[in-house]
């Protein structure tokens, strides 16, 4: 026993010395490579050398310059030792910089095209110049900017930058080694002379707006620098004075934060992935403070001093770690917050008359003044923020005013888990347009769903379309479609929504779509971009995607994939019927399948979007049939099975899927075809919907229908399309009557309400009649008949 203990003790000592020896050799190697001279600081050293040099500078080399109390000395102590390897290491460590540059370039292009920026822009940044060189991947730096100023307090980084731009031959880039707090644009470079001349020549003629533009930058970037500045309040304050009224500021940096800190703020631009766990916060805060990088408070003050245009929260997966970082794009806090702009946008959201200041002072129309009291939630949030000197909610800083502000943290929105239930709209838009006869003076309110019908209505150019959906993800999808028509060519739009796949979706999102999206929608699509449109088809995601994947799986398992392809490719109706009767029918209309899957209540809701109350309506219709009259209980799945049979049989027998029924073609094929697709995906539709003013009348509301129409002026809507939403109400509750009364208040005389129902005689039609509507059924779902190419419904007009 004693010998064994001695042997174990010797082995432990041996292991300790072995580990110590390896550590010493490692430190000697690091020190050797650190002191080894490099040929040029503008060239990235070998990767291993770079990482070892970085390790030595950050964790082994003692800091100097502390005694002087100078921030510049402290920075030099950190950067002088690793200046030559700075870019080589930061390319991997500092993620998000390319995204920030792409977003900034997209914003700059958009504001130049719209006339918000009327001159060649001025850019102020910092660091080694890596960001400025990389910007050339998005726009030409020598041709696009009148001047670029690199401002940094570290002489080592400034030296690298000077050599970089000498190598590139860019003469419009100026390196200024100076504290950002004291930097004044009018004091540097040729800009100083030009401004002096301009001041002398225009002393008596310049306007206050022009005077405000003098000495302002149109683009300001801070890349992983804000977290290293001790007196960050002063720097952010100075930047707010430096930024032009229509300029853009971009920041990319590390951060840690708990949801407790931001959950009551409505101006952050969304909180997807923003929360960091307690362990993550403690670890990264402690880790970075070893290098004098501070992760708290800076982002909060940045969001307080500026308006948020776009915001991204992400993780850098490096060496098995998940380092939190953010990308933030902002603008002047006062941009878009004047009383006139608020009132104009408010009028568009509530259908109230827009009254300018002279109108209000004259007080000529008492009725109009009463209507002004109708306020949207967006307007109320703006007023509250302005009274507290806070920025407006991020939706107010969008370049396009389609999306109306909503509180994304409310439980009623979060219940959908940021997922679409419908990736395409079932309702037959061709029948809608035929029944509604949409004119240019119509004001339409419609449920968003997947946005297909909204785009179909937009083709008729009505005065206004209010798209309403409680699920934020459904409105995110509509926003994406609207942004795509605004910014992309037909081929890209077709790939995204015709085929449901686009390998370059993330690049398109950053470079072209981002200026036309709200921060919340942009966050949503950036967060799921690694899978949607790339590894997965758009139509195989979300709730409806579950049903499409199940259909495809069944066909593969049963060896019917080829038969299904022949079915949806059949050139004639007779051939389609033959394929259906021969093989497909016995699978899709199998009682076993219906009992096991389709009749399951959770499946009906999650995959098909059928709530319990709508299922009850289907079962009640089943009980009213003559051959089962008197039954009080429906056997599990029997009513749903018959509903499916009565739906699919007429569709297959009456409509040619390959040519004239894109709804079922998508279900079977997983994408549309060039021959069969929604009207909004035609070349002609793209020409119309890509015009600059195509969506000026669109307003996207994320709320309940009752909440939206309650904040609208009376008698302003001409059309309301509520789809089958009233099937969701309980027949014993007050919800249906409440919504019908609200619709009656906002619908003009001779206005139209279009609804669909899974029931043949919906119980709430009687309520419509009692509350002032004249109801008429214009189509119905009966066995053997097909009233609609899409969702089987009884239509009431």
176 and 138, same structural domain?
yes
Burial of 564 (0-12, 13-18, 19+ CB in 10 A): buried
Check pLDDT > 80 for residue 32: no
The whole-number pLDDT of residue 287 equals 86
* 729/704 Cα distance (integer angstroms): 13
Determine, yes or no, domain membership for 509.
no
The whole-number pLDDT of residue 154 equals 84
272 and 148, same structural domain?
yes
The whole-number pLDDT of residue 368 equals 42
* Listed ranges 53-62, 235-244, 578-587; the one with the highest mean pLDDT: 235-244
pTM for the whole structure: 0.84
Determine, yes or no, domain membership for 384.
yes
Pick the last residue of a domain from 279, 304, 332.
332
pLDDT tier, 310 (very low <50, low <70, confident <90, very high otherwise): very high
Cα distance from N-terminal residue to C-terminal residue, the chain: 95
Which residues are paired to 254 by β-bridges?
325
* 14/6 Cα distance (integer angstroms): 12
* 394/521 Cα distance (integer angstroms): 11
- Residue 710 structural domain: 411-501+677-796
Q: Average pLDDT in the 308-330 region?
A: 91
pLDDT tier, 150 (very low <50, low <70, confident <90, very high otherwise): very high
416 and 365, same structural domain?
no
492 and 429, same structural domain?
yes
Q: CB–CB of 501/538 below 8 Å?
A: yes
Compute the Cα dihedral for 219, 223, 227, 228 and give only its sign. Answer: negative
How many residues are listed for the chain in this entry? Answer: 797
pLDDT tier, 30 (very low <50, low <70, confident <90, very high otherwise): very low
CATH number where 315 lies: 3.40.50.150
272 and 129, same structural domain?
yes
Check pLDDT > 50 for residue 186: yes
pLDDT digits (tens, 9 = 90+) for 86-101: 555 566 778 899 999 9
* 96/91 Cα distance (integer angstroms): 10
Residues 6 or more apart in contact with residue 135 via CB below 8 angstroms: 101, 104, 105, 141
* 262/409 Cα distance (integer angstroms): 11
pLDDT tier, 353 (very low <50, low <70, confident <90, very high otherwise): low
> Coil, strand, or helix at residue 740?
helix
155 and 262, same structural domain?
yes
pLDDT digits (tens, 9 = 90+) for 634-684: 554 677 777 777 777 888 888 899 998 998 899 888 899 999 999 999 999
Q: Quick one: which H or E segment has residue 677? A: none
- Which segment of 536-545, 609-618, 741-750 scores lowest on mean pLDDT? 609-618
Tokens read off for 586: 């016995």
Determine, yes or no, domain membership for 720.
yes
> Coil, strand, or helix at residue 46?
coil
pLDDT digits (tens, 9 = 90+) for 188-211: 766 555 555 555 555 554 444 444
15 and 153, same structural domain?
no
Residues 6 or more apart in contact with residue 277 via CB below 8 angstroms: none
78 and 8, same structural domain?
yes
Q: CB–CB of 74/292 below 8 Å?
A: yes
The whole-number pLDDT of residue 104 equals 97
The whole-number pLDDT of residue 41 equals 39
328 and 192, same structural domain?
yes
74 and 183, same structural domain?
no
Determine, yes or no, domain membership for 743.
yes
pLDDT tier, 587 (very low <50, low <70, confident <90, very high otherwise): confident
Q: CB–CB of 351/443 below 8 Å?
A: yes
Q: Quick one: which H or E segment has residue 790? A: none
Tokens read off for 247: 């300029």
Determine, yes or no, domain membership for 707.
yes
Q: CB–CB of 121/145 below 8 Å?
A: yes
* 186/195 Cα distance (integer angstroms): 7
Q: Give the dihedral of Cα atoms 670, 675, 677, 678; nearest 10 deg.
A: 180
Check pLDDT > 80 for residue 711: yes
Determine, yes or no, domain membership for 419.
yes
Determine, yes or no, domain membership for 681.
yes
383 and 320, same structural domain?
no
290 and 177, same structural domain?
yes
Determine, yes or no, domain membership for 399.
no
Domains contained in the chain, number: 5
The whole-number pLDDT of residue 27 equals 45
pLDDT digits (tens, 9 = 90+) for 588-636: 777 666 665 565 555 555 555 566 777 777 777 777 765 555 554 455 4
Tokens read off for 301: 């003050």
Residues 6 or more apart in contact with residue 615 via CB below 8 angstroms: 601, 604, 640
Q: Average pLDDT in the 321-332 region?
A: 94
């Amino acid at each position: 026993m004693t010998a064994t203990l001695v042997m174990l003790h010797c082995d432990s000592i041996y292991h300790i010395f072995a580990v110590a020896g390896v550590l010493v050799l490692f430190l000697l190697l690091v020190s050797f490579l650190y002191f080894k001279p490099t040929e040029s600081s503008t060239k990235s050293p070998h990767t291993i050398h770079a990482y070892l040099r970085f390790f030595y500078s950050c964790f082994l080399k003692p800091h100097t310059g502390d005694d002087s109390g100078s921030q510049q000395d402290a920075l030099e102590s950190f950067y002088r030792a690793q200046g030559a390897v700075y870019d080589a290491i930061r390319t991997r460590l500092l993620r998000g910089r390319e995204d920030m540059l792409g977003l900034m370039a997209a914003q700059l292009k958009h504001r130049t095209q719209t006339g918000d920026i009327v001159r060649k822009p001025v850019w102020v940044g910092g660091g080694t110049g890596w960001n400025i060189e990389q910007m050339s991947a998005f726009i030409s730096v020598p041709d696009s900017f009148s001047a670029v100023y690199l401002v940094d307090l570290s002489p080592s980084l400034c030296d690298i930058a000077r050599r970089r731009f000498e190598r590139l031959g860019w003469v419009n880039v100026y390196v200024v080694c100076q504290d950002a707090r004291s930097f004044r644009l009018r004091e540097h470079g040729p800009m100083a002379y030009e401004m002096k001349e301009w001041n002398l020549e225009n002393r008596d003629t310049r306007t206050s707006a022009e005077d405000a533009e003098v000495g302002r930058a149109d683009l300001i970037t801070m890349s992983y620098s804000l977290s290293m500045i001790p007196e960050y309040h002063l720097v952010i304050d100075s930047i707010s004075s430096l930024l032009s009224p229509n300029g853009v500021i971009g920041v990319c940096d590390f951060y840690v934060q708990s949801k407790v800190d931001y959950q009551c703020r409505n101006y952050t631009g969304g909180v997807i992935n923003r929360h960091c766990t307690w362990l993550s916060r403690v670890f990264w805060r402690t880790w970075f403070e070893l290098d004098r990088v501070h992760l708290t408070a800076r982002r909060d003050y940045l969001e307080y001093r500026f308006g948020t245009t776009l915001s991204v929260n992400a993780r850098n997966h490096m060496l098995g770690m998940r380092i939190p970082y953010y990308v933030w794009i902002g603008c002047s806090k006062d941009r878009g917050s004047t009383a006139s702009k608020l009132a104009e946008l408010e009028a568009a959201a509530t259908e109230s008359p827009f009254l300018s200041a002279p109108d209000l002072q004259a007080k000529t129309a008492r009725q109009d003044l009463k209507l002004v009291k109708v306020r949207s939630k967006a307007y109320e949030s703006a007023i509250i923020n302005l009274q507290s000197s806070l920025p407006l909610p991020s939706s107010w800083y969008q370049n396009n005013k389609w999306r109306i502000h909503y509180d994304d943290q409310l439980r009623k929105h979060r219940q959908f888990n940021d997922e679409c239930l419908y990736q395409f709209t079932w309702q037959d838009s061709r029948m809608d347009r035929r029944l509604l006869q949409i004119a240019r003076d119509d004001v339409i309110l419609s449920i968003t769903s997947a946005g297909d019908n909204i785009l179909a209505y937009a083709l008729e150019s009505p005065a206004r379309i209010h798209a309403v959906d409680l699920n934020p993800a459904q409105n995110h999808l509509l926003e994406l479609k609207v942004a795509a028509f605004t910014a992309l060519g037909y081929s890209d739009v077709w790939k995204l929504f015709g085929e449901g796949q686009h390998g370059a979706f993330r690049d398109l999102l950053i470079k072209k779509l981002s200026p036309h999206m709200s921060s919340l929608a942009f966050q949503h699509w950036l967060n799921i971009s690694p899978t949607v449109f790339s590894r997965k088809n758009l139509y195989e995601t979300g709730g409806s995607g579950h049903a499409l994947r199940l259909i495809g799986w069944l066909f593969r398992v049963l060896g019917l994939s080829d038969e299904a392809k022949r079915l949806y490719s059949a050139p004639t109706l007779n051939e389609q019927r033959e394929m259906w009767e021969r093989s497909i029918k016995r699978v899709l209309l199998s009682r076993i399948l219906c009992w096991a899957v389709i009749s399951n209540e959770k499946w009906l809701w999650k995959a098909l979007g059928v709530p319990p109350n709508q299922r009850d309506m289907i079962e009640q219709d089943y009980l009213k049939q003559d051959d089962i009259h008197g039954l009080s209980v429906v056997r599990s799945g029997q009513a749903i099975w018959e509903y499916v049979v009565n739906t699919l049989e007429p569709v297959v027998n009456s409509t040619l899927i390959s040519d004239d029924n894109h709804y079922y073609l998508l279900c079977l094929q997983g994408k549309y075809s060039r021959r069969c697709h929604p009207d909004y995906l035609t070349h002609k539709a793209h020409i119309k919907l890509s015009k600059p003013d195509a969506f000026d009348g669109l307003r996207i509301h994320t709320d309940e229908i009752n909440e939206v129409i309650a904040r609208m002026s009376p008698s302003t809507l001409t059309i309301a399309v509520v789809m089958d939403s009233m099937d969701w109400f309980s027949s014993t509750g007050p919800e249906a009557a409440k919504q019908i009364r609200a619709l009656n208040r906002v619908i003009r005389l001779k206005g139209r309400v279009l609804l669909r129902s899974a029931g043949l005689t919906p119980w709430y039609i009687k309520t419509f009649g009692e509350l002032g509507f004249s109801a008429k059924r214009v189509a119905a779902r009966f066995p053997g008949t097909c009233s609609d190419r899409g969702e089987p419904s009884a239509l009431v007009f």
